[in-house]
């Protein structure tokens, strides 16, 4: 943050002392344009980069912001500075509306969300064209605003204003990335359903991101109106704006607050140079080619590559800029700067590619043996989970029918049944992934039947998935830390990280804390699922086929881990087909068959029940 402040002060000084430094007003206009695009790309990235909700609607905020300022100053004589907060409020409300529609309906994700956001600027543009009280499509000229004299010339004033907006946008992106909101949005980006089940209130964080994005986009749009002087529907609601911010965000890198800044600086300056050589019509070809190359070679974006190889990139810049400067046979200073930046980008990409391919894969076949620990299972206590007449229908399919079941504190229940008998459906109902068609579910006295998954997590219920679903862009440690942060005792990432180590040690994954989940084998990924689930401090843990696909040594290891977790006092329900596992672990067995409860009792009695043998054990079980 300090470095950000220093950079801002240096750039502001450049604007204030531009005449003394002999900086031509052309440079101030260019820098103002760079600042506008930094603000827009950063605003877009707050939602789309961090959370993965790809928006094509950035022009809506630019348009509403620009038109608010243009119409009020140009037609109603309102002072410019009054229009900026109004633009912020209007765009904040617009974002609130889009978010409320898109995020309340969980299905509006991916391309459906993108299409919705694409439609919004079209509607607003049509409204501006039709409505004479806006400008009826004629365009609106802005008067020169009154501004304090110490800002100097109008170009200096414009630049300093654009710089201030860009600095605020970048500061907001920095603060979001380094707060709980940043972790929440990254988790949503990687897997929203898992984030919700781990206690992340996903709706709230998406709303925060979209409103922040709207407000910043609108304020920058308002300042943009002043920069262009004449606002038309085409100039502010056009497709160029979303396309440019997307290219800038993707090119620079969407997961870091500086990514869009890198993308905006490179693209705006490159575009300016192409225009200066009369190559405007080749703009799209150059930008498209650069984007295609970068997406193929550096999908995480340019900033990540520059960060990995800062000195080599700097050397590339200095060599190219220096040679062009000394030879002085082509172009001018700005050309040499842009050539230097392209060289730095190229060096970072080429060297970064080599380095990433040299990273050794994690040992994929080893089992990190978990020691058997002496300990006692917890005493069986009060009823923790009560299911009453629970049913779940998918159209005509009765996945579950009239299930009434109590789970007591301290139990380790084996949930078994043939394929399609409703085991996963029951786990989904308990964790809130789906809602029952009929019946009620209570956990620790709370009715959770209609609660969203993150509230169920806070009541004390955690789950794992049959196919592990780690947050791929986070380290193993941060996967677990995220669950702690949004668990029953909220805390910051800094506080959660040391605690995550303890849970990783429980599942013998602590030595892989810094690795990315992509480097783990299946067994390790399943252990990570368990570590992440217990990190949310559950009273009840649901393990959905947590041992599926493991070899015998890995199964034995996983059994020891499950026992450890149980002995720590957590009640467990484990969906499992392996009878030898259930024999070792379960205190009670519940059998489902075609969505109904077939048997429920101690393992010996249930497994010798003729109905169970007929329906399940004789056909399905493995030993």
Ligand X SMILES: Nc1ncnc2c1ncn2[C@@H]1O[C@H](COP(=O)(O)OP(=O)(O)OP(=O)(O)O)[C@@H](O)[C@H]1O
Task: Name the site residues for ligand X (rule: CB under 6 A).
Answer: 394, 397, 399, 417, 419-425
End-to-end CA distance of the chain: 58
Q: At its nearest, how many Å lie between ligand X and the CB of residue 193?
A: 13
Q: At its nearest, how many Å lie between ligand X and the CB of residue 39?
A: 43
CA distances from 139 to 78, 428, 448 (A): 18, 55, 55
Cβ closer to ligand X: 283 or 596?
Answer: 596
Cβ closer to ligand X: 156 or 421?
Answer: 421
Q: Is the dihedral of CA 180, 184, 189, 191 positive or negative?
A: positive
Q: At its nearest, how many Å lie between ligand X and the CB of residue 604?
A: 23
Contact 547, 489 (CB under 8 A): no
Q: At its nearest, how many Å lie between ligand X and the CB of residue 305?
A: 41
Identify the H or E element spanning 354: helix 333-358
Q: At its nearest, how many Å lie between ligand X and the CB of residue 423?
A: 4
Cβ closer to ligand X: 202 or 425?
Answer: 425
Cβ closer to ligand X: 537 or 593?
Answer: 593
Q: How far apart are CA 393 and CA 174, in angstroms?
A: 46
CA distances from 156 to 27, 313, 573 (A): 10, 32, 66
**What SS3 class is residue 96?**
helix
Q: How far apart are CA 207 and CA 188, in angstroms?
A: 12
Q: At its nearest, how many Å lie between ligand X and the CB of residue 457?
A: 21
Cβ closer to ligand X: 227 or 466?
Answer: 466
Q: At its nearest, how many Å lie between ligand X and the CB of residue 517?
A: 23
Q: Is the dihedral of CA 477, 483, 485, 487 positive or negative?
A: negative
Q: At its nearest, how many Å lie between ligand X and the CB of residue 545?
A: 7
Contact 520, 512 (CB under 8 A): yes
Contact 559, 577 (CB under 8 A): no
Contact 558, 524 (CB under 8 A): no
Q: How far apart are CA 134 and CA 233, in angstroms?
A: 10
**What SS3 class is residue 287?**
helix
- 240-252 and 259-276 helices, crossing angle to 10°: 120
Q: How far apart are CA 431 and CA 484, in angstroms?
A: 17
CA distances from 571 to 436, 461, 534, 564 (A): 22, 10, 11, 12
Q: At its nearest, how many Å lie between ligand X and the CB of residue 393?
A: 9
Identify the H or E element spanning 390: strand 383-394
Cβ closer to ligand X: 43 or 464?
Answer: 464
Identify the H or E element spanning 140: strand 140-141
Cβ closer to ligand X: 389 or 495?
Answer: 389
Q: At its nearest, how many Å lie between ligand X and the CB of residue 419?
A: 4
User: Rg of the chain's alpha carbons, rounded to an integer?
Assistant: 29
How long is the chain?
623
Cβ closer to ligand X: 230 or 394?
Answer: 394
Cβ closer to ligand X: 424 or 524?
Answer: 424
Q: At its nearest, how many Å lie between ligand X and the CB of residue 575?
A: 7
**What SS3 class is residue 593?**
strand
Cβ closer to ligand X: 513 or 579?
Answer: 579
Q: At its nearest, how many Å lie between ligand X and the CB of residue 387?
A: 14
Q: At its nearest, how many Å lie between ligand X and the CB of residue 196?
A: 17
Cβ closer to ligand X: 35 or 461?
Answer: 461
| Cβ count within 10 A of residue 322 | 12
Alpha helices by DSSP H, listed for 433-551, are 453-459, 476-485, 493-506, 522-535
Contact 48, 254 (CB under 8 A): yes
| Cβ count within 10 A of residue 511 | 11
Cβ closer to ligand X: 313 or 542?
Answer: 542
Cβ closer to ligand X: 259 or 417?
Answer: 417
Contact 567, 373 (CB under 8 A): yes
Q: At its nearest, how many Å lie between ligand X and the CB of residue 422?
A: 4
Cβ closer to ligand X: 269 or 464?
Answer: 464
């Amino acid at each position: 943050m300090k470095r950000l402040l220093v950079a801002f002060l240096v750039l502001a000084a450049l604007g204030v002392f531009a005449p003394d430094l002999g900086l031509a007003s052309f440079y101030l206009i260019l820098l103002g344009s760079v600042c506008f695009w930094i603000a827009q790309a950063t605003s877009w990235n707050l939602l789309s980069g961090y959370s993965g909700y790809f928006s094509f609607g950035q022009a809506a905020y630019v348009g509403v912001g620009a038109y608010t300022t243009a119409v009020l100053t140009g037609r109603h004589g309102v002072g410019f500075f009054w229009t900026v907060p109004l633009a912020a409020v209007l765009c904040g409300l617009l974002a609130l509306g889009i978010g409320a529609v898109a995020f309340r309906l969980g299905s509006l994700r991916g391309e459906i969300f993108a299409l919705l956001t694409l439609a919004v600027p079209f509607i607003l543009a049509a409204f501006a064209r039709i409505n004479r009280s806006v400008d009826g499509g004629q365009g609106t000229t802005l008067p020169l605003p009154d501004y304090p004299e110490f800002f100097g010339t109008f170009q200096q004033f414009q630049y300093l204003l654009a710089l201030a907006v860009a600095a605020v946008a970048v500061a907001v992106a920095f603060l979001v990335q380094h707060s709980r909101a940043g972790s929440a949005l990254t988790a949503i980006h990687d897997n929203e359903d898992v984030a919700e089940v781990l206690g992340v209130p996903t709706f709230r964080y998406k709303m925060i991101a979209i409103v922040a994005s709207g407000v910043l986009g609108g304020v920058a749009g308002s300042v943009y109106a002043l920069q262009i002087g004449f606002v038309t529907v085409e100039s502010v609601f056009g497709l160029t704006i979303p396309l440019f911010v997307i290219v800038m965000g993707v090119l620079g890198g969407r997961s870091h607050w500086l990514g869009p800044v890198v993308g905006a600086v490179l693209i705006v300056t490159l575009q300016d140079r192409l225009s200066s050589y009369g190559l405007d019509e080749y703009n799209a070809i150059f930008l498209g080619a650069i984007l295609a190359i970068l997406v193929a070679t550096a999908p995480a974006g340019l900033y990540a590559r520059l960060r990995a190889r800062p000195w080599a990139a700097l050397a590339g810049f200095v060599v190219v800029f220096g040679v062009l400067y000394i030879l002085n046979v082509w172009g001018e200073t700005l050309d040499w700067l842009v050539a230097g930046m392209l060289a730095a980008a190229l060096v970072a990409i080429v060297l970064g590619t080599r380095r990433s391919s040299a990273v050794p894969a994690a040992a994929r076949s080893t089992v990190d043996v978990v020691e058997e620990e002496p300990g006692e299972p917890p005493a069986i206590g009060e009823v923790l989970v009560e299911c009453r007449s629970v049913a779940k229908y998918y159209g005509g399919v009765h996945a579950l029918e009239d299930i009434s079941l109590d789970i007591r504190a301290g139990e380790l229940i084996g949930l078994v049944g043939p394929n399609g008998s409703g085991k996963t459906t029951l786990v989904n109902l308990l964790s809130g992934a789906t809602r029952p068609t009929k019946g009620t579910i209570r956990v620790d006295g709370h009715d959770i039947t209609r609660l969203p998954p993150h509230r169920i997590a806070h009541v004390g219920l955690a789950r794992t998935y049959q196919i592990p679903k780690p947050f791929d862009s986070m380290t193993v440690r941060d996967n677990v830390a995220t669950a702690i942060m949004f668990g029953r005792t909220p805390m910051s990432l800094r506080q959660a990280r040391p605690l995550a180590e303890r849970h990783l040690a429980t599942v013998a994954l602590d030595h892989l804390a810094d690795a990315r989940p992509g480097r783990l084998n299946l067994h390790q990924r399943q252990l990570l699922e368990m570590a992440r689930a217990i990190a949310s401090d559950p009273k009840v843990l649901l393990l959905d086929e947590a041992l599926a696909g493991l070899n015998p040594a890995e199964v034995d290891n996983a059994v020891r881990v499950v026992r450890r977790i149980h002995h720590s006092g957590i009640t467990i329900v484990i969906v499992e087909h392996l009878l030898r596992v259930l024999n070792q672990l379960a205190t009670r067995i519940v059998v489902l068959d075609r969505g109904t409860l077939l048997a429920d009792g101690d393992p010996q009695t249930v497994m010798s029940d003729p109905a169970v043998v007929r329906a399940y054990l004789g056909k399905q079980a493995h030993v």
